[in-house]
Amino acid sequence: MLKRFTVSMEEDLLDDFDRFIQDRHYKNRSEALRDLIRGRSIEKEWQADKDVMGVISLVYDHHQHKLQEKVTNLQHGFHSQIVSTTHVHMDHHNCLEVIIVHGKAGEVRGLADSLTAMRGVRNASLSMSSTGKDLH
Ligand code: NI
């Protein structure tokens, strides 16, 4: 059930908020505020080492000695946390891997950190999301 409430804030802060809403193509302030609060809930789930979902993406050079093998071996070590992996051959050298993960926040972050630190991995990121159970 939706409940209404009134928010007071400084004009400058509201201007900032309205620019944010415009930049992100929100239809109205309510939807933007709901998403900001959901974002905060997701942060809290990750901090509390809850059961979470996320997406790890990495770009690496498959010519780097044994890197492909190391990336695959590491993922086998986390088979319980990996939902799926998609591999894209971007060009002659570069591969993009997108890994959907589900597990304890600490485990998932551990996998992302290990992949990021591998020599030859050019870019890696972890997008933190939620299982949705506690997300209203
Ligand atoms: Ni490839």
Mean pLDDT confidence for 108-129: 95
CA distance 9 to 61: 49
Centre of ligand 1 from the C-alpha of residue 98, in Å:
12
Centre of ligand 1 from the C-alpha of residue 44, in Å:
35
Average pLDDT, the chain: 95
Compute φ and ψ for 32, nearest 5 degrees. -65, -45
Centre of ligand 1 from the C-alpha of residue 75, in Å:
16
Q: Is residue 26 very low, low, confident or very high in pLDDT (cuts 50, 70, 90)?
A: very high
Q: What does the DSSP 8-state code read for residue 85?
A: E
Q: What's the confidence (pLDDT) of residue 103?
A: 97
pLDDT at 7 over 90: yes
CA atoms within 13 A on the CB side of 128: 20
Centre of ligand 1 from the C-alpha of residue 71, in Å:
12
CA atoms within 13 A on the CB side of 114: 15
Domains of the chain by residue range: 11-47, 51-130
Q: Is residue 96 very low, low, confident or very high in pLDDT (cuts 50, 70, 90)?
A: very high
Q: Is residue 135 very low, low, confident or very high in pLDDT (cuts 50, 70, 90)?
A: confident
Mean pLDDT confidence for 67-92: 96
Work out the burial of residue 102: count CB atoms within 10 Å of its CB; fewer than 13 is exposed, 13-18 middle, 19 or more buried: middle
Mean pLDDT confidence for 13-34: 96
Mean pLDDT confidence for 50-60: 97
Q: What's the confidence (pLDDT) of residue 134?
A: 80
Q: Which fold has domain 51-130?
A: Alpha-Beta Plaits (3.30.70)
